[in-house]
Amino acid sequence: MQIFEAAPDAGPSLALHGGAGGRVEELTLEGRAPYDEGLRAAFSAGWQVLAAGGSALDAVCASVEVLEDNPLFNAGRGAALTATGHAELDASVMTGAGRAGAVAASKHARNPVLLARAVMEHTEHALIVDPDVAFLECHGFQPVERGYFITESRRQQLERVLGGRAAAARHGTVGAVARDVNGRVAAATSTGGMVGQADGRVGDSPIVGAGVYARDNIVAISSTGHGEAFICGVVAYDIAARIRYANAGLAAAVRETIETELAQRGSTGGIIAVGGDGRIVVAHNSPAMFSARGTGPEPTITT
């Protein structure tokens, strides 16, 4: 297991991830530079919000939106494809005040994270499954054709998986967590799921307490990994509960949850967290993880 920790800071804090997994195609040494650039662009988008005094929620949405638009990452355009060759997208947002919104099996929203935010802010619901075109238009979103999300590299990846020439990737997800100048925290997560997954399969990313969780003065968390294990272990909430009720430190809470809820299930993944004091923790028990973290405009990048 690898854990990176940054000390608390009086100002804003921001961390984001672009997925965790093995040293496969997307993580080869030759291919790192474009991913680094994508992470920096996403961090910059979120940091500009925080530096201007904006909210943690605005910051995490800005960062995740950039990652969704980048076809290198498994969210939005360039998402992993289901067994039938389609993209079904999941996303969620949560504020430190305890409000949350999510979408699952989204097929027409260019930026699922923004639709998840709309669910939180403009409906009485917390989770919408398979939001249709009418739902998007009702909330001011211009739908896109399903083909928008599909890239040639993802088509080829699906062919290799279905042909037995490659293992299904389980760790492609993006997310961000932030603490703003007012001490509020927020988290957002977005994904295309697993390569070759069954149509209708939903992982942890849109599930509050599994792939996302936030509570002011405690922590904001976004997860990436084997979604079923994160759901069964209620991983994001388990970390928050260790901090809230057992007075565990942020790094210790993350480490203990990974050991008890992931490792003991034979599963891997990664977690980014920002504490109520601005402390940042990035951790994973997978061979690699894309991440960017910092308390200033120049992030620390890990791939």
Active site residues: 173
3-state secondary structure labels for all residues of the chain: CEEEEECCCCCCEEEEEEEEECCCHHHCHHHHHHHHHHHHHHHHHHHHHHHCCCCHHHHHHHHHHHHHHCCCCCCCCCCCCCCCCCCCEEEEEEECCCCEEEEEEECCCCCHHHHHHHHHHHCCCCEEECCCHHHHHHCCCCCCCHHHHCCHHHHHHHHHHHCCCCCCCCCCCEEEEEECCCCCEEEEEEECCCCCCCCCCCCCCCCECCCEEEECCCEEEEEEECHHHHHHCCHHHHHHHHHHHHCCCHHHHHHHHHHHHHHHHCCCEEEEEEECCCCEEEEECCCEEEEEEECCCCCEEEC
Tally of CA atoms within 13 A in the half-sphere of 135 that contains its CB: 19
CA 248 to chain centre: 24
Backbone phi, then psi, for 185, in 5-degree steps?
-120, 160
With a CB cutoff of 8 Å and minimum separation 6, the contacts of 136 are 108, 109, 115, 142, 143
The number of residues making up the chain comes to 303
Q: Are 15 and 177 in contact (CB under 8 A)?
A: yes
Tokens for 26? 């997307």
